Amino acid sequence: MRVDDSLVIERRAVISGAGQSDIGRRLYRDPLELTLDACLVAIADAGLTTADIDGVATYPGPMDVPPGFSGAGVVDVQDALRLELGWWSGGIESPGQLGSVINACLAVAAGLATHVLCFRSVWEGSAQGDKGRAGVMGGGGGGYRASGFMEWTMPFAAPSAAIWIAMMAERHFHEYGTTREQMAQIALNARKNAGVNPNAIYRDPMTMEDYLNVRMISSPLCLYDCDVPCDGATAVIVSHADTVADLRKPGIQVEAVGTALRGRPSWDQFDDLTTMANRDAGAQLWTRTDLKPSDVQLAEMYDGFSFITMTWLEAMGFCGKGESGPFIEGGERIARDGVLPLNTHGGQLSAGRLHGYGFLHEACVQLWGEAGERQVPGDPEVGVAAAGGGPLAGALLLTRRR
Amino acid sequence: MTAMRFDLPTPDLETEPFWDAAKEERLLIKHCNACGKYHFYPRPFCPYCWSDDVEWFEASGRATLYTWSVVHRNDLPPFPEWLPYVAAIAELEEGPRMMTNVVQCEFDQLEIGMALEAVYYPTSEDVTIVQFRPRPASS
Ligand SMILES: [Zn+2]
């Protein structure tokens, strides 16, 4: 059922600026400094100053464990930039990483703030050092006892999202005949796009043979199906649509958002484990707009593991349920000159695990026509940014204002 | 000091009966007397109808394989000693699914939908986990 337009208040928000810090595998820089770099670039990009910023939103807020997962919280940034805030919010319980941006849209619509600085910063590359993710889990020191949901995963040797997503992928392969060669296109497409993104981490060409021969992590996921921990920060400014005349460049209209979570938020009890919350968030988004999936000219969608992007393609209605394998087969449809250019910056698989915000940043840059060598041809006006996997999912439909 | 490990659960009042039963090679799940459904993992309220009239039920241990993954990389002790091993979600005959492992099965024999039966594996003096192996057609 179509939601009445008067209720779609996210449409009173625009994205007015975007910025990133240096991005690298391991920068060994103060994560707050990286965060501020991104924030200041985004504020200037919008044609604003710190005095104009009266709201801040972030994901996940300050966290010590796992190390590197959070580079700064709201109050760190509020203090460092001496911001005077009418509204702020940070936290990990939201519809994915972009839930924080959606919160900001609702806050400006409610008149609690006019220009909200939204950021996400990570330093997982440096924090993990050379020890890999084991070093991260052991980072707390001392013992560890699994409790809560983990009481039903850790003792059974299923401690990580890599394993849970691998099992979802295997189920999808079984139900729909999906193949590794099809799934490979997510990774190959990302690497191809990273090749023309100077800020991407892995830019060397990758072939199908490389993909099929690299070591398995958790079948059917191989090394190239897993994203790359890195250091870096991303920021965007969400502004009230009434301010567009004051902005340096055309605001990007937030046309509609999706935030739903209807099934059980569980990696084993969810009703259909070939998908998860993105199914609900995607369906909800299309009840809030007259635009259709076929109107979308580019999609920047979460690839913490390549299979997650396939579930987003289905969740957003870019292909039918179970049809993401044939949809991406050969890679033509999702290439930069295809019907649905996908993860045009290289995704988290090749451009680095900026954790959700990288997709929104890229969607904005593309809609502003500022993507340089990797610019999607045809002057695109409609894009999707979507982030999250498993029980986390949030999506934004964006249009360039004329 | 014993080596750090990540596989030991923290039983609480709600979950202790499950772990106690596993040591006796029994698989306990919860049954709701109000709606008749079974659930896992154990909750004080039924996740389907919110009734608190739930009680422990000894499952048959018969299951089918819902999905699986051969794990080749897991840095957390003690799992590196297990590699490669099969992580799995088993769908119990009673309905709920559980994360588990499939053992006593060649990797190339794994097939979604295959019949499984519970086996019990002590991972420490105090803790026994429920795993599954292929179930012969006759049982
Ligand atoms: Zn019930």
Predicted confidence (pLDDT) per residue in A170-218, tens digit: 999 999 999 999 999 999 999 999 999 999 999 999 999 999 999 999 9
Confidence of residue A142 (pLDDT cuts 50, 70, 90): very low
CA atoms within 13 A on the CB side of A330: 5
C-alpha of residue B54 to centroid of ligand 1, in Å: 8
Please give the share of chain A, as a percent, with pLDDT higher than 70. 96
- Cβ <8 Å between B41 and A151: yes
Position B4 scores a pLDDT of: 82
Task: Calculate the average pLDDT of chain A.
Answer: 95
**A contacts of B89 (beta carbons < 8 Å):** 167, 268, 273
Q: Is residue B105 part of a domain?
A: yes
- Establish if B122 belongs to a structural domain: yes
Establish if A32 belongs to a structural domain.
yes
Where residue A131 falls among pLDDT bands split at 50, 70, 90?
Answer: low
Q: What is the mean pLDDT of residues A102-124?
A: 98
B47 neighbourhood in chain A, CB within 8 Å: 264, 269
Give a yes or no: residue B55 inside a domain: yes
Instruction: Supply the pLDDT for residue A402.
Output: 60
Give B6's contacts in chain A (Cβ within 8 Å). 137, 144, 146, 154, 159
Which residues of chain A make contact with B127, given a CB cutoff of 8 A? 155
Range(s) of the domain holding residue A244:
5-129+160-400
Q: Which residue of A has its CA nearest to B68?
A: A167
Please determine, for residue A357, whether its predicted confidence score (pLDDT) is greater than 50: yes
Q: Give Cβ neighbours of residue A183 (< 8 Å, ≥ 6 apart).
A: A169, A220, A225, A306, A307, A310, A325, A328
CA distance linking residue A368 with residue B105, whole number of Å: 55
- Determine, for residues B87 and A163 on separate chains, whether the beta-carbon distance falls below 8 Å: yes
* Average pLDDT over every residue of A351-359: 98
Chain B interface, mutation test: which of A154, A171, A272, most B Cβ atoms within 10 Å?
A154
Q: Residue B139 has what pLDDT?
A: 67
B3 in helix, strand or coil?
coil
ipTM: 0.96
B-chain residues near A134 (CB < 8 A): 75-76
CA–centroid distance, residue A315 to ligand 1 (Å)? 30
Residues of chain B neighbouring A157 (CB-CB closer than 8 A):
7, 71, 74, 79, 82, 85, 87, 101
Residue B8 distance to chain A (closest CA, Å):
6
B139 within a domain of the structure (yes/no): no
pLDDT bin (cut points 50, 70, 90) of residue A103 is very high
Is B4 domain-assigned? no
What's the pLDDT at A341?
98
Cα B34 to ligand 1 centre (Å): 5
Q: Which residue of A has its CA nearest to B130?
A: A156
CA atoms of A44 and A16, how far apart (whole Å): 10
A88 in any annotated domain = yes
Structural domain includes residue A145: no
Domain hosting residue B28, numbered range: 16-134
More confident of the two residues A322 and A66: A322
Q: What H or E segment, with its residue span, contains residue B120?
A: strand B115-122
Instruction: Tell me the per-residue pLDDT of A66-86, one tens digit each, with 9 for 90 and over.
Output: 889 999 999 999 999 999 999
Residue in B with minimal Cα distance to A151: B9
> Cα(B43) to centroid of ligand 1, in Å?
11
> What is the number of domains present in chain A?
1
Confidence band of A49 (pLDDT split at 50, 70, 90): very high
User: What's the confidence (pLDDT) of residue A141?
Assistant: 41
Distance from the CA of B32 to the center of ligand 1, in angstroms?
5
**Assigned domain for A146 exists:** no
pLDDT over 90 for what percent of chain A? 90
Total domains in the fold of chain B: 1
Q: How far apart are CA A130 and CA A31, in angstroms?
A: 18
Q: Which of A133, A147, A268 sits opposite B99 (nearest CB)?
A: A268
**Nearest CA among A58, A39, A59 for reference residue A48:** A39
Mean pLDDT of all residues belonging to chain B: 95
Asked if A219's CB is within 8 angstroms of B67's CB, the reply is no
Task: Supply φ then ψ for residue A397, to 5 degrees.
Answer: -100, 125
Whether residue B2 lies inside any domain: the answer is no
* Number of CB pairs, chain A paired with chain B, less than 8 A apart: 127
CA distance A217 to chain B (A): 5
Whether A143 has a pLDDT exceeding 90, the answer reads: no
Q: How far is A18 from chain B (nearest CA, A)?
A: 37
- A154 inside domain: no
Torsion of CA A144, A150, A156, A162, to 10 degrees: -100
For B20-45, what is the mean pLDDT? 96
> Does the beta-carbon distance from B75 to A218 stay under 8 Å?
no
d(CA A92, CA A226): 22
Paired tokens of B64 = 């089918």
Domain membership of residue A141 (yes or no) is no
* Residue A262's pLDDT band (cuts 50, 70, 90): very high
Give the CATH number, domain containing residue A249: 3.40.47.10
Would you say residue A152 lies in a domain? Answer: no
Do the bridges between strand A115-123 and strand A55-58 make them parallel or antiparallel, or are there none, so unpaired?
A: parallel
- pLDDT for position A135: 43
Give the mean pLDDT of A21-45.
Answer: 97
Task: Let me know if residue B10 belongs to a domain.
Answer: no
On the question of pLDDT at B54 being above 70, the answer is yes
Put simply, the answer to whether A155 touches B123 (Cβ < 8 Å) is yes
The answer as to whether B113 is a domain residue is: yes
Band (pLDDT 50/70/90 cuts) for residue A146 is: confident
> Does position B93 have pLDDT exceeding 90, yes or no?
yes
Mean pLDDT of A31-50: 98
pLDDT (0 to 100) of residue A148: 84
pTM, whole model, 2 decimals? 0.96
Residue numbers in A near B98 (CB within 8 A) = 152, 156, 268
Residues B67, A156: C-beta atoms closer than 8 Å: no
Residue B65: band (very low, low, confident or very high) from pLDDT cuts 50, 70, 90: very high
- pLDDT computed for residue A138 by the predictor: 40
Q: For B87, name the nearest residue in chain A, comparing CA atoms only.
A: A158
